C-alpha cells in the first residue's frame, strides 16, 4: 500500500486545496488513521489544516502536522545547505507520521518562501518520504493549448526527478476550455498516468459576505448572522437611477452604493424579495445611512439579508474588494462541499484510489461509514422526495446532496416560495419546475406543489382506492393528498420517487402514518422495526429497536435481530448480534430474561449463519475484558456490532444516553419493513443528519426494498414520546 501521497503544484494560484480535500476524502473513506504533514508552513493559522482537522475529526496533535517554518527553512538551507534541510524534514516526517495507515502531504505554496528551485525541493521531499506525487497545474486564465503544455511540462519535470506520479490534475480551467484541454491531453501521445481537468468553479473563488465584512471592517446594520455565509459572486455599484440600476443586478451580487441612495437600497432588496435576482447583500458607503423608516422597510422587504455600512467612499471600497477571493476554511463548510462535488464529478475517484493503492481497512469507522454511504448512493443514483421543501436545514442538505451527486431530489412546495427561501439563505440551488426536464447527467432538483400539481387528482383516486375499506372517498382523498407527507408518500408508491425522508418539521406520526397506510409492509414481513447507526469515535454500532416497538415478544424480538443484522451488513458493518438483557448467559431468570433467551434460540434456528449471543449485558457485549470473564469463548461477547434491546424504554434511553454522554453521532431511525423506503428525521436533526439519512434511503432504494416488517404491534416514537400507529392493515 502507498503510505503517503504528496500533493504539490508548480506555482501559485492553482487552487490545489480542492485536490487536497478530495484526496483526504478518499483516504479517510478507506482507512482508519490518516495523518497530515505539511513540511513547510507560514506563520499564522493554517486554514486548510484546520479545515481537515475539523471535517475529518483528526486526533493528530497539531504540532506533529508541521515540519518547520519557511523562515527557519530558508535560514537552514542558506547556512548548511539543502541536504541538511531535507534531512531534518525527513526526520520530522517519520517521527510525526509513524503509526498512521496513510498520510496526506501538503506541498509548498510558492508564496514568498525565499526558497530557490521549489519544484525540485518538493520532488526530492516526496522521494525521501516514499510518497507518490499528485501534481496540480493551474489553468487559470489560460487557453486549452497552454493548459495541455503546462501539464506535460510538469509531468516531465517530476518524472525526470524520479517521482512516482499517480495522476496529473489541471485545475481552474475556463469552463469553455475544459473539454478541449482534456482532448488535447488524451490525443496524440497521452501521458502514461491519468489526467483530470477541473473547471473554474465560481462558488469557490467567490468570497463570502463575512469575508467582505472583515476585509472592509464594516458594521452590520441589518441581517442575520447565518446570511454572512452567502457567496458574493459579483459586485454591482449603484449610482444610476433605479430603472437603469435594477437590470444591472445579478444573482448573488453585492450591491455597493452611497448610503444616501435610499431608492437603490429599497429597490435592490425588493428585487431580492421577488427572487429576481437574489442578491448577497448591500454595502452602504460614505458613512451615510437611510432614515429609520427606510431601514425598517428594508428589514421587512428582505429579512435576514445583510446590509453593511462603511465610512469610505465607493471607489476605495471597490479597490479593496475586487481582488478578494474565497477560501476553503473550517468556517466555510459549504465551500468544502462545493470543492468535493467538483473533485468527485471530474476525477475518476475509483481509479485514483486504485493507483494510490489504499486498501480498505477491516474496521468500519464513523468517517468510513459516512463516506461509504456517499459512494454507494452515488454509484446508482436514486430519486428521493423531501416534503419539507422550505425548511432551512432541508434546503442546506439539498445543496450538499446535489453538489456531491448523491441523488436526484423533489422538494415539495410552491416553486417561487422554495426558490425565494433558498435565495434568502444564500443557498445555491438550481430548481426545476415540475414540468421541466434536467439538462445534464448531474443530480438535479425539482419542485412540486401538492396544491396545484396535476398529480393531485391521480393521487386522490389512488389513495381512495387503497383506503376505500375505511370509507375514504375521492372527494375526501383530494384534501388528504394535498398534505405534503401524503403527497410524498404517494410519489414513492406510484414509482415517481424511490424513497422519502421527512420529519425535520413534522412529527414522526405525520411522516410514518402515510407510509403505513400507502406503502405498507413487505410480503415476508413479520414486524416493522428500526435501527440507529451509532457512530462512536472508533467504530459504528447498530442499535435496534429504539423507535418503533414498545414491548416486542420473543418472536418479534428475533425478527428485529435478523432485520437489524441484514441492515448492518447492507451498510458495511459485519453483524455480530447481542440480544441484551440485565443478565448474561444463564446467570439470571424471570420473564424478561426468558423472552430474550427464547428470541436468541429463534434467531439461531432461523439464521444459523448469523453470530448471535443472548441474553447478554451491554458491557459483556462490547468490552472484551468483561466478556472474557462473563462469557469466555463467545464469538460475539466483547465484539458485538448489532445490539438488540428488549424493549423500547431500554433502547430509546440507551441510544440517547450514548449519543449525549459519549458524543456519538446517531444516524436514524432507519425503518425496516416497508415495501419502499421511507425514513423519519428527528425535529432536531442537523444538516449532516439529513444528508446521511437521505443517503441511507437512497441505498435502501437501490435494493428495491426497505426491509421486513408489519405494524400490528408498532408504536412510533418522536423524541421519546410514543405515538400510536394507525389501525392495522
Instruction: Give CA torsion, residues 128, 134, 139, 144, to 10 deg.
Output: 120
What's the pLDDT band for 729 if we cut at 50, 70, 90?
very low
Residue 283 pLDDT > 90, yes or no? yes
| CATH 3.40.1390.20 domain residues, the chain | 207-321
Backbone φ, ψ for residue 123 (5° rounding): -60, -45
Top-level CATH class of 333-351+365-492?
Answer: alpha beta
What's the pLDDT band for 711 if we cut at 50, 70, 90?
very low
Read off the pTM.
0.80
What is the model's pLDDT at position 358? Answer: 66
Cβ–Cβ < 8 Å for 254, 238: no
Q: What does each C-alpha distance from 41 to 37, 46, 68, 200 come to in angstroms? A: 10, 8, 6, 26
Query: Which of the listed ranges 255-264, 355-364, 584-593 does the model predict with the highest average pLDDT?
Result: 255-264
Query: Which of the listed ranges 354-363, 610-619, 698-707 does the model predict with the highest average pLDDT?
Result: 610-619
Going by C-alpha positions, the residue among 511, 482, 502 that lies closest to residue 384 is 502
Under CATH, domain 4-200 is a member of which superfamily? Answer: P-loop containing nucleotide triphosphate hydrolases (3.40.50.300)
Under CATH, domain 520-723 is a member of which superfamily? Answer: Isocitrate/Isopropylmalate dehydrogenase-like (3.40.50.10750)
What is the model's pLDDT at position 113? Answer: 66
What's the pLDDT band for 718 if we cut at 50, 70, 90?
very low
Residue 725 pLDDT > 50, yes or no? no
Cβ–Cβ < 8 Å for 139, 174: yes
- Name the β-bridge partners of 102: 34
Q: What is the mean pLDDT of residues 354-379?
A: 77
Taking only the tens place, the pLDDT of each residue in 134-161 is 999 999 989 999 999 999 999 999 999 9
| CATH 3.40.50.10750 domain residues, the chain | 520-723
Helix (H) or strand (E) holding 422, with range, is helix 415-424
| Strands 34-41, 102-106: pairing kind | parallel
What is the model's pLDDT at position 677? Answer: 92
Taking only the tens place, the pLDDT of each residue in 598-610 is 999 999 999 999 9
Fold of 207-321: 3.40.1390
What's the pLDDT band for 437 if we cut at 50, 70, 90?
confident
Q: What is the mean pLDDT of residues 353-372?
A: 74
Residue 712 pLDDT > 60, yes or no? no
Mean pLDDT of the chain: 86
* Residues in Cβ contact with 594 at an 8 Å cutoff, skipping those fewer than 6 apart: none
DSSP symbols for 65-91: GEEEEHHHHHHHHHHH-HHHHHHHHHH
| CATH 3.40.50.10950 domain residues, the chain | 333-351+365-492
Cβ–Cβ < 8 Å for 240, 258: no
Helix-helix angle 591-606:554-570, to 10 degrees: 50
Taking only the tens place, the pLDDT of each residue in 670-681 is 888 888 999 988
Residue 569 pLDDT > 60, yes or no? yes
What is the model's pLDDT at position 549? Answer: 86
Residue 586 pLDDT > 90, yes or no? no
Per-residue HEC secondary structure of 275-340 comes to CCCCCCEEEEECCCCCCHHHHHHHHHHCCCCCEEECCCCHHHHHHHHCCCCCCCCCCCHHHHHHHH
What's the pLDDT band for 480 if we cut at 50, 70, 90?
very high
- 3-class DSSP state of 670: strand
What is the model's pLDDT at position 713? Answer: 30
Amino acid at each position: 500500500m502507498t503510505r503517503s501521497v504528496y500533493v504539490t503544484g508548480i506555482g501559485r494560484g492553482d487552487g490545489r486545496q480542492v485536490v487536497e480535500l478530495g484526496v483526504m476524502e478518499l483516504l479517510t473513506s478507506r482507512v482508519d488513521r490518516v495523518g497530515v504533514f505539511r513540511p513547510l508552513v507560514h506563520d499564522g493559522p493554517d486554514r486548510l489544516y484546520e479545515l481537515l482537522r475539523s471535517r475529518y475529526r483528526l486526533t493528530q496533535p497539531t504540532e506533529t502536522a508541521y515540519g518547520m517554518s519557511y523562515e527557519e527553512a530558508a535560514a537552514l538551507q542558506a547556512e548548511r545547505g539543502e541536504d541538511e534541510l531535507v534531512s531534518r524534514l525527513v526526520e520530522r516526517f517519520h517521527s510525526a507520521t509513524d503509526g498512521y495507515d496513510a498520510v496526506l502531504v501538503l506541498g509548498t505554496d510558492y508564496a514568498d518562501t525565499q526558497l530557490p528551485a521549489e519544484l525540485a525541493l518538493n520532488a526530492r521531499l516526496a522521494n525521501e518520504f516514499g510518497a507518490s506525487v499528485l501534481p496540480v497545474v493551474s489553468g487559470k486564465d489560460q487557453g486549452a493549448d497552454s493548459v495541455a503544455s503546462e501539464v506535460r511540462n510538469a509531468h516531465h519535470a517530476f518524472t525526470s526527478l524520479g517521482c512516482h506520479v499517480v495522476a496529473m490534475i489541471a485545475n481552474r480551467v475556463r469552463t469553455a476550455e475544459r473539454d478541449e484541454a482534456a482532448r488535447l491531453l488524451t490525443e496524440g501521445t497521452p501521458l502514461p498516468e491519468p489526467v483530470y481537468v477541473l473547471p473554474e468553479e465560481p462558488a469557490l473563488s467567490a468570497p463570502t459576505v463575512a469575508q467582505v465584512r472583515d476585509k472592509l471592517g464594516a458594521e452590520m446594520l441589518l441581517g442575520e448572522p447565518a446570511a454572512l455565509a452567502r457567496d458574493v459572486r459579483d459586485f454591482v455599484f449603484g449610482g444610476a437611477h433605479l430603472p437603469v440600476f435594477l437590470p444591472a443586478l445579478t444573482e448573488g451580487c453585492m450591491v455597493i452604493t452611497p448610503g444616501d441612495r435610499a431608492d437603490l437600497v429599497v429597490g435592490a432588496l425588493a428585487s431580492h424579495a421577488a427572487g429576481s435576482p437574489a442578491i448577497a447583500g448591500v454595502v452602504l458607503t460614505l458613512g451615510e445611512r437611510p432614515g429609520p423608516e427606510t431601514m425598517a422597510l428594508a428589514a421587512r422587504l428582505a429579512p435576514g439579508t445583510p446590509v453593511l455600512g462603511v465610512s469610505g467612499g465607493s471607489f476605495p471600497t471597490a479597490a479593496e474588494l475586487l481582488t478578494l477571493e474565497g477560501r476553503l476554511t473550517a468556517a466555510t463548510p459549504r465551500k468544502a462541499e462545493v470543492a468535493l462535488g467538483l473533485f468527485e464529478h471530474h476525477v475518476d475517484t475509483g481509479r485514483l484510489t486504485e493507483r494510490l493503492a489504499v486498501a480498505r481497512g477491516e474496521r468500519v469507522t464513523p468517517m468510513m461509514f459516512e463516506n461509504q454511504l456517499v459512494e454507494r448512493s452515488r454509484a446508482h443514483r436514486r430519486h428521493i422526495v423531501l416534503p419539507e421543501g422550505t425548511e432551512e436545514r432541508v434546503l442546506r442538505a439539498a445543496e450538499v446532496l446535489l453538489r456531491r451527486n448523491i441523488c436526484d431530489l423533489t422538494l415539495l412546495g410552491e416553486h417561487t416560495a422554495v426558490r425565494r427561501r433558498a435565495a434568502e439563505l444564500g443557498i445555491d440551488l438550481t430548481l426545476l419546475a415540475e414540468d421541466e426536464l434536467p439538462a445534464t447527467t448531474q443530480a438535479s432538483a425539482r419542485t412540486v406543489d401538492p396544491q396545484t400539481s396535476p398529480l393531485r387528482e391521480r393521487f386522490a383516486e389512488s389513495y381512495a382506492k387503497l383506503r376505500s375499506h375505511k370509507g375514504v372517498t375521492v372527494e375526501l382523498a383530494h384534501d388528504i393528498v394535498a398534505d405534503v407527507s401524503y403527497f410524498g408518500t404517494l410519489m414513492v408508491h406510484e414509482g415517481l420517487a424511490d424513497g422519502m425522508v421527512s420529519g425535520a418539521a413534522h412529527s414522526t406520526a405525520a411522516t410514518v402514518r402515510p407510509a403505513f397506510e400507502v406503502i405498507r409492509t413487505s410480503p415476508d414481513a413479520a414486524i416493522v422495526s428500526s435501527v440507529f447507526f451509532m457512530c462512536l469515535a472508533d467504530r459504528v454500532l447498530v442499535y435496534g429497536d429504539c423507535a418503533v416497538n414498545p414491548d416486542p415478544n420473543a418472536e418479534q424480538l428475533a425478527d428485529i435481530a435478523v432485520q437489524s443484522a441484514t441492515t448492518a451488513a447492507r451498510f458495511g458493518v459485519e453483524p455480530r448480534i447481542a440480544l441484551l438483557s440485565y443478565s448474561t448467559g444463564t446467570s439470571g431468570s424471570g420473564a424478561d430474561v426468558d423472552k430474550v433467551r427464547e428470541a436468541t434460540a429463534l434467531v439461531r434456528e432461523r439464521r444459523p449463519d448469523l453470530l448471535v449471543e443472548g441474553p447478554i449485558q451491554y458491557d459483556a457485549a462490547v468490552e472484551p475484558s468483561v466478556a472474557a470473564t462473563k462469557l469466555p469463548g463467545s464469538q460475539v461477547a466483547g465484539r458485538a456490532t448489532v445490539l438488540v434491546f428488549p424493549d423500547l424504554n431500554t433502547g430509546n434511553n440507551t441510544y440517547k444516553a450514548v449519543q449525549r454522554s459519549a458524543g456519538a453521532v446517531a444516524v436514524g431511525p432507519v425503518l425496516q419493513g416497508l415495501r419502499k423506503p421511507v425514513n423519519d428525521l428527528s425535529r432536531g436533526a442537523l444538516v449532516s443528519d439529513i444528508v446521511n439519512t437521505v443517503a441511507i434511503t437512497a441505498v435502501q432504494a437501490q435494493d428495491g426494498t426497505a426491509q421486513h416488517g408489519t405494524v400490528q404491534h408498532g408504536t412510533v416514537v418522536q423524541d421519546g414520546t410514543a405515538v400510536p400507529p394507525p389501525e392495522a392493515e
